[in-house]
Structure 1
Amino acid sequence: MPEVNQGAARSNLDLLKDVEVDVSLEIGRRRMRIAEVLEIQEGQTLELSKAAGEPLEIYVNGQLLGRGEAVVVGDCYGVRITELVADEGGSS
């Protein structure tokens, strides 16, 4: 395996620091038949797979980054990171 030049690796990483990525939170899932989806009305409540208080999944560009809990920051929602997950290569 070729030796990695630390300076070059750091420089390459610096090039990526300004790239924007999508960060999303998942509070739960639900599988529905198309007929059920077509009947959804405004004001209707859809029950999801997670219990209240369970951690939310945090995704970066569709890849699981970790888990956290919902918080309120000023007038906005936020997430407090409680766990970062390791990728398949074993690093976090």
Structure 2
Amino acid sequence: MSTETPNTMNDAVTDDWAQALEEQAATVNVNDDGAPVFESATAPVTSGGAASANPMQDIQMVLDIPVQLSVELGRTRVPIKYILQLAQGSIVELDALAGEPMDVLINGYLIAQGEVVVVNDKFGIRLTDIVTPSERMRRVSRT
């Protein structure tokens, strides 16, 4: 049984994340367009304080975790009585303007914005702006 308290375990996890973010920041360059260019990290990836035998195996563990990706056209607030009056052909006014970029959310958190495209009779979204990690952290801390 571990003698670590929940607080010391949380501190260790926080330290691991801080180290990973520092390594990422050190390896991110920006191209002429201002878009991030990611290079492979030069520092070895560690897990639990010891060097992992295969760093690629560590990342493989999280690649198959399902997340919910949604694209938000706009929002509105309406009373329940209005919802009950909706019928086929009803129009619901949203707070977004025509031509505005759509919000791309992962598990409810904004990660990008983009524009709607149609490819082979299917809708898609072309990402036009990626939210920076620091902006994501700022938005999360506001909620």
Give the structure-1-normalised TM-score: 0.84
Deviations 1:11-53 (A, max 9, x none): 3322011112111000001110111111111111111111100
Q: Which residue of 1 aligns with 2:4?
A: none
Deviates more, 1:72-81 or 1:11-20: 11-20
Q: Does 1:48 align with 2:97?
A: no
Q: Which residue of 1 aligns with 2:24?
A: none
Structure 1 partner of 2:63:
17
- Give the structure, 1 or 2, with the largest relative contact order (CA under 8 Å, sep 6 or more): 1
- In the alignment, which of 119, 127, 131 is matched to residue 73 of structure 1? 119
Match of 2:26 in 1: none
Q: Which 4+ stretches in 1 moved above 3 angstroms?
A: 1-5, 7-11
Which structure: greater strand fraction? 1
Residue 10 of structure 1: how far off its partner (Å): 4.7
Q: Normalising by structure 2, what TM-score?
A: 0.56
CA-based RMSD of the aligned residues comes to 2.1
| Counterpart AA for 2:97 | A
For residues 109 and 81 of structure 2, what CA distance do their matches in structure 1 show?
A: 30
Which runs of 5 or more structure 1 residues have no equivalent in the other structure? none
Q: What amino acid sits opposite 1:20 in the alignment? A: P
**Which one has a larger percent helix, Structure 1 or Structure 2?**
2
CA distance in 1, matches of 2:58, 2:78: 44
| Inter-partner Cα distance in structure 2 for 1:74 and 1:45 | 27
1:6 and 2:52 correspond:
no
Look up the equivalent residue of 1:88 and give its one-letter code.
M
Code of the residue aligned with 2:128 in structure 1: it is T
Aligned residue for 1:35, secondary structure, equals: helix
Larger Rg: 2
Which residue matches 2:137?
88
Residue aligned with 1:59, SS: strand
Q: Does 1:60 align with 2:109?
A: no
Structure 2: unaligned runs, 5 residues or longer: 1-14, 21-43, 47-51, 139-143
Equivalent residue letter for 1:6: V
